[in-house]
């Protein structure tokens, strides 16, 4: 796979991966902006509103009709939070010409449509249509409220919210309910125009077309992109230590049959100059995957739960351990999760565990080369930090991780907040049969 990266226009960068092995090509555009409570909901709303209609294809039916014509070219809004950077835009995927009965080349049509979605919305008097804004606002509010439907994800996001209550990271990629409710179409249009002018922009392409062709197609498509002073001053504030000396505890009651325990940790001083491969390997040993200490002990050995796993949010320097347990197993599960972290700190893992973890991390990285979606995410994340090494290079670095590297990561980690979602306190009721 050939990698090329260049600045096409002021603040507009193209990452190009040439590959012959896929049936479809993919392309994305992302505006990068600082995640903040005040603007997050507006940012999240923008691609959704833009997806409602463009100057040429005024509503969703016409847009979808156009995409169907282009052999199911899919151009969908994306909204991501990578560290404390919010990335909003579109992800497009379309068939390579040789697999189409007509042999049609879709690159320029797909690029033109993606650019039109971003740059030329359906407007009246220069303003986004109030109807579209209101309707998407309702959907965004539904989406924000719907996080409660899936309890495991809900508990994770609640833990982050509480743990990072003094940081922008407490805001989800969709923003908050209060801010979303206050969005007005005029304000949103103004914000949209400002973002177009000032955001750094990341373009991504992966497919059969050569760099030269892709850059010329994209330059044409995005020629109308307004560019003012670019706001490069965006980034993630990594807090090294727990907020209080004592581990904070938050619990919440809901009508559920299974408890959800989430333990939030700070990665600590290792985030000074993060050894990314070592952090990945640590996480694999401790809590991700079927051979990790959490899975083997909390689930398999002690049958305390159905799942127990750790998740590292590397850009923000957080680790979250999440587990589904019976309500009365809280202490037992919590103690075991701490005990297993202690074990990694003390180097209580076999050479086989280390090797297994390294193999699984490197295999995951290498298989990312076979998925355009993974590649897009990987390279966007790299672009945010100005890093130019690919998944294969990272996989090689994983080979060099030592036992001491892993222990150093474990020792650097400290617990910050424990969140527990439990059932409603049972009321004393008489059994009807008695």
Partner 1 sequence: MQIIDYPQIGEKLYSAVLPNGLEIRVVPKKDFATYYAAFATNYGGAHRRFSVDGRELDTPAGVAHFLEHKMFDMPNGDNALTVLTENGADPNAFTSSGMTCYYFQCTDKFEENLRMLLHFVSTPWFTEETVKKEQGIIGQEIRMGEDNPGIAIYYNLLELLYEHHPIRDRVAGTVESISEITAQTLYDCHKVFYAPSNMVLCVEGDVEPEDIVRIASEELSEELAPVPKANFGEAESLLPVSNLRRVQMEVSAPQFLIGAKLPSSRGGVESMRERITATLALRMLCGSSSTFYTRLYAEGLLNPSFDYEVDLSADTVTVILGGESKNPDKVLEEFNKEVKRIVAEGFDPGLFMRSKRASHGARLRGLEDFENVCVSLASGVFEGYCALDSFDILEAVELEDCRLFVQNNLSPERLAMSVIEPRK
Binding interface with partner 1 (CB under 8 A): 20-24, 59-61, 64-65, 67-74, 93-95, 98-101, 135, 138-139, 142-143, 145-151, 254-258, 289-291, 296, 299-300, 303, 305-306, 324, 326, 352, 355-356, 359-360, 362-364, 366-367, 369-372
Report how far residue 257's alpha carbon sits from residue 124's, in angstroms, rounded to the nearest whole number: 51
Least distance CB 138 / partner 1 (angstroms): 6
Neighbours of 57 (CB within 10 A): 20
Minimum distance of partner 1 from residue 297's CB (angstroms): 13
State how far the Cα of 169 lies from the Cα of 36, in Å rounded to an integer.
Answer: 8
Contact present, 72 and 95 (Cβ < 8 Å): yes
Least distance from C-beta 179 to partner 1, angstroms?
Answer: 18
Q: Are strands 201-207 and 12-18 parallel, antiparallel or unpaired?
A: parallel
User: In whole angstroms, how close is the CB of 239 to partner 1 at the nearest point?
Assistant: 31
Would you call 345 exposed, middle or buried from its count of C-beta atoms within 10 A (0-12, 13-18, 19+)? Answer: middle
- Report the residue number, 8 or 74, with the smaller CB distance to partner 1: 74
Q: Which of 268, 388, 375, 387 is nearest to 316 (CA)?
A: 268
Nearest to 91 by CA among 141, 171, 172, 24: 24
Report the distance separating Cα 39 and Cα 81, nearest Å.
13
Cβ-based nearer residue to partner 1, 201 or 325: 325
Nearer to partner 1, 99 or 389 (CB): 99
Nearer to partner 1, 36 or 62 (CB): 62
3-state helix, strand, coil in the chain (%, to 5): 45, 25, 30
Q: How far is the CB of 122 from partner 1 (least distance, A)?
A: 12
Nearer to partner 1, 234 or 256 (CB): 256
**Closer CB to partner 1, 197 or 371, in the complex:** 371
Q: Is the dihedral of CA 82, 35, 417, 406 positive or negative?
A: positive
Closest approach of Cβ 237 to partner 1, in Å?
Answer: 31
């Amino acid at each position: 796979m050939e990698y090329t990266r260049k600045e096409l226009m002021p603040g507009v960068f193209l990452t190009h991966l040439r590959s012959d092995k896929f049936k479809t090509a993919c392309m994305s555009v992302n505006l990068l902006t600082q995640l903040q409570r005040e603007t997050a909901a507006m940012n999240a709303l923008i691609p959704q509103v833009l997806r409602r209609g463009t100057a040429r294809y005024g509503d969703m039916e016409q847009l979808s009709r156009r995409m169907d014509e282009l052999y199911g070219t899919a151009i969908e809004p994306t909204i991501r939070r990578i560290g404390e950077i919010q990335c909003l835009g579109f992800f497009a995927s379309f068939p390579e010409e040789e697999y189409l009965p007509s042999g049609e080349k879709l690159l320029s049509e797909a690029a033109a449509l993606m650019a039109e979605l971003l740059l030329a919305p359906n407007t009246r008097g220069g303003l986004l249509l109030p109807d579209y804004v209101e309707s998407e606002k309702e959907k965004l509010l539904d989406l924000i409220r719907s996080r409660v439907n899936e309890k495991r994800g809900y508990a994770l996001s609640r833990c982050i919210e509480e743990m990072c209550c003094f940081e922008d990271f407490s805001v989800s990629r969709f923003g908050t309910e209060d801010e979303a409710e206050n969005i007005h179409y005029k304000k949103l249009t103004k914000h949209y125009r400002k973002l177009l002018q000032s955001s750094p922009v990341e373009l991504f392409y992966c497919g059969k077309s050569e760099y030269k062709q892709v850059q010329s197609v994209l330059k044409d498509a995005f020629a109308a992109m307004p560019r003012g002073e670019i706001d490069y001053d965006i980034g993630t504030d990594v807090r090294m230590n727990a907020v209080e000396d004592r581990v904070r505890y938050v619990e919440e009651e809901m009508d559920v049959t299974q408890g959800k325990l989430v333990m939030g940790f700070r990665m600590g001083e290792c985030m000074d100059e993060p050894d990314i491969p070592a952090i990945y390997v640590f996480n694999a040993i401790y809590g991700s995957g079927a051979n990790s200490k959490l899975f083997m002990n909390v689930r398999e050995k002690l049958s305390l739960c159905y799942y127990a796993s750790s998740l590292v949010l590397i850009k923000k320097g957080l680790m979250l351990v999440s587990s589904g347990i019976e309500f009365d197993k809280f202490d037992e599960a919590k103690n075991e999760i701490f005990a297993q972290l202690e074990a990694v700190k003390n180097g209580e893992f076999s050479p086989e565990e280390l090797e297994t973890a390294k193999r699984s991390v490197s295999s995951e990285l290498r298989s990312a080369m076979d998925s355009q979606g993974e590649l897009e995410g990987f390279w966007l994340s790299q672009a945010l930090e100005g890093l130019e090494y690919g998944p294969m290079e990272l996989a090689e670095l994983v080979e060099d991780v030592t036992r001491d590297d892993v222990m150093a990561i474990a020792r650097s980690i400290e617990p910050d907040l424990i969140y527990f979602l439990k059932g409603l306190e049972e009321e004393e009721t008489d059994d009807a049969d008695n």
